[in-house]
């Protein structure tokens, strides 16, 4: 069937974190929210049909994963990435962030170091600190409007630091974001291999957040970190979910792939009492999305591609003071406002109070995000146009 992504759907007064918190977060209810990463599009009809069918059953008791659900994940990973996984490798959780909290708890001790590649999704930082660990920032390099990994710095971050007294912290974990949120890079196999070899040389575990893995712009292909080699498989936790791809964030269902039995057992122990069982309807939606959602997804990707091209052209022609970093994946765009010469506080106030647009402030993603903002383009074209017009008017005044 043909889906209409141009249709405006009023999400106010629906408990929407995005639309019902504008006054609380941005100080005014006339701010256009274009920040949090969910879409303003209805989900695919087969998903809605599957949810209705399960609701009609009328009983919502304690739930365990069922065979066809597990097979849907196995088949999806095989179909999309030619990665053959075993059913027992899969652990279902209510979201990727709870899984990352559990993984850090399982594989670190308080005082250990965990490597991030900033600017990066800010809940990662909370997960590290809340587990009593330290953040080591292997900062990405912005070269000619394109982000790259700094492999020499990554080697230094893993290097022992015997000068620390009374004892040096251990670096046992690296959190990889692929596709990267917020800068939009889809790390290629060569980059992943190089980063992975550095981590494995120091016997580190890589937690790979791949929640945006099916949201690719034209010309780009996702490579799961663990699919590169058997050695990478045995030293990694891969976090996938249909929540971003199929707009199911509120149903909270993720599949965490852990091939190493020892790591999987430790993960399962760590999540007990922290991460509850996954929501029944979330699992129903996950299976329906993976089995029957591709017709919708193909149309969505085409629409997002056109939204991206519209945005890139708009900034280039009408707001050249602001540089848009062209993403390779996700539906998020990283915007460079540094030429306006504002500090973080002034830039945030400028966008909220003058432009009346609610974006994600770049400094939240780490020190290297200062002067940047993140915008969500998974919305009807008219909403995107209105948001860009507001920014244009504010900047050019």
Instruction: Tell me what pLDDT residue 276 has.
Output: 75
Per-residue tokens: 193 = 């291999």
Q: Give DSSP secondary structure letters for 335-352.
A: EE-GGG---HHHHHHIII
Count: domains in the chain: 2
Cβ atoms of 43 and 246 within 8 Å: the answer is yes
For residue 268, tell me if it sits in a domain: yes
Instruction: Tell me what pLDDT residue 91 has.
Output: 98
pLDDT tier for residue 171 given thresholds of 50, 70 and 90: confident
- The domain of 34 spans 22-44+294-396
**Separation CA 113–CA 116 (nearest Å):** 10
Instruction: Tell me what pLDDT residue 166 has.
Output: 53
pLDDT tier for residue 159 given thresholds of 50, 70 and 90: confident
pLDDT tier for residue 168 given thresholds of 50, 70 and 90: low
Q: Where is the domain boundary, 291, 323, 341? A: 291
Q: Sign (positive/negative) of CA torsion 114, 119, 124, 127?
A: positive
pLDDT in tens, 351-363: 999 999 999 999 9
* 36 plus 182 within the same structural domain: no
* 91 plus 220 within the same structural domain: yes
Query: Is pLDDT at 93 greater than 60 in this prediction?
Result: yes
For helices 280-292 and 45-57, angle between their N-to-C axes, nearest 10 degrees: 140
Cβ atoms of 60 and 280 within 8 Å: the answer is yes
Mean pLDDT value of segment 216-240: 98
For residue 53, tell me if it sits in a domain: no
Instruction: Tell me what pLDDT residue 170 has.
Output: 77
Cβ atoms of 176 and 208 within 8 Å: the answer is yes
**Overall residue count recorded for the chain in this entry:** 397
* 244 plus 114 within the same structural domain: yes
For residue 49, tell me if it sits in a domain: no
* Residue 389: partners with Cβ closer than 8 Å, 6 or more residues away: none
Mean pLDDT value of segment 384-394: 98
Which three-class secondary structure state does DSSP give residue 295?
Answer: helix
Instruction: Tell me what pLDDT residue 21 has.
Output: 96
Predicted TM-score (pTM) of this structure: 0.95
Q: Sign (positive/negative) of CA torsion 377, 208, 365, 17?
A: positive
- Percentage of the chain beyond pLDDT 70 is 98
* 298 plus 283 within the same structural domain: no
* 269 plus 123 within the same structural domain: yes
CA angle in degrees (0–180, nearest 5) for 351-389-391: 20
pLDDT in tens, 10-32: 999 999 999 999 999 999 999 99
**Separation CA 27–CA 358 (nearest Å):** 10
β-strand pairing of 254-257 with 323-325 = unpaired
For residue 1, tell me if it sits in a domain: no
Mean pLDDT value of segment 334-344: 97
For residue 56, tell me if it sits in a domain: no
Instruction: Tell me what pLDDT residue 169 has.
Output: 62
pLDDT tier for residue 134 given thresholds of 50, 70 and 90: very high
Instruction: Tell me what pLDDT residue 288 has.
Output: 98
The helix (run of H) or strand (run of E) holding residue 137 is strand 134-137
Q: What is the CATH number of the domain that holds 274?
A: 3.40.640.10
């Amino acid at each position: 069937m043909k889906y209409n992504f141009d249709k405006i759907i009023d999400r106010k007064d629906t408990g929407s974190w995005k639309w019902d918190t504008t006054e609380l977060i941005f100080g005014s209810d006339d701010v256009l929210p274009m920040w949090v990463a969910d879409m303003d599009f209805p989900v695919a009809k087969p998903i809605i049909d599957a949810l209705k069918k399960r609701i009609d059953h009328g009983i919502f008791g304690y739930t365990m994963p069922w065979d066809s659900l597990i097979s849907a994940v196995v088949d999806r990973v095989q179909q999309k990435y030619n990665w053959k996984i075993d059913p027992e490798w899969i652990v279902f959780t209510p979201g990727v962030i709870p899984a990352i909290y559990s993984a850090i708890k399982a594989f670190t001790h308080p005082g250990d170091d965990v490597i991030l590649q900033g600017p990066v999704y800010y809940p990662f930082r909370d997960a590290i600190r809340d587990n009593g660990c330290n953040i080591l920032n292997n900062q990405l390099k912005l070269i000619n409007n394109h982000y790259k990994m700094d492999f020499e710095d990554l080697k230094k971050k893993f290097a022992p630091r015997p000068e620390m007294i009374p004892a040096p912290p251990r670096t046992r974990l690296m959190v990889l974001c692929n596709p990267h949120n917020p800068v939009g890079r889809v790390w290629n196999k060569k980059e992943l291999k190089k980063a992975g070899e550095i981590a494995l040389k120091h016997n580190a575990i890589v937690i790979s957040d791949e929640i945006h893995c099916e949201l690719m712009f034209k010309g780009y292909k996702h490579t799961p970190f663990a699919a590169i080699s058997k050695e990478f498989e045995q030293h990694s936790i891969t976090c996938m979910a249909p929540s971003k791809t199929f707009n199911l964030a509120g149903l909270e269902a993720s599949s965490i792939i852990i091939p190493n039995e020892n790591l999987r057992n430790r993960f399962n122990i760590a999540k007990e009492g922290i991460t509850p069982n996954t929501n029944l309807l979330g699992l129903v939606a996950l299976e329906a999305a993976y089995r029957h959602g591709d017709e919708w997804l193909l149309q969505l990707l085409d629409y997002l591609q056109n939204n991206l091209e519209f945005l890139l052209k708009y900034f280039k022609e009408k707001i050249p003071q602001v540089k848009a970093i062209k993403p390779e994946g996700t539906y998020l765009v990283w915007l460079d406002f540094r030429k306006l010469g504002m500090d973080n506080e002034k830039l945030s106030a400028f966008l909220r109070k003058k432009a009346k647009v609610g974006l994600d402030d770049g400094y939240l993603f780490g020190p290297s995000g200062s002067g940047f903002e993140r915008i969500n383009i998974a919305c009807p074209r008219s909403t995107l146009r209105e948001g860009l017009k507001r920014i244009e008017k504010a900047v050019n005044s």
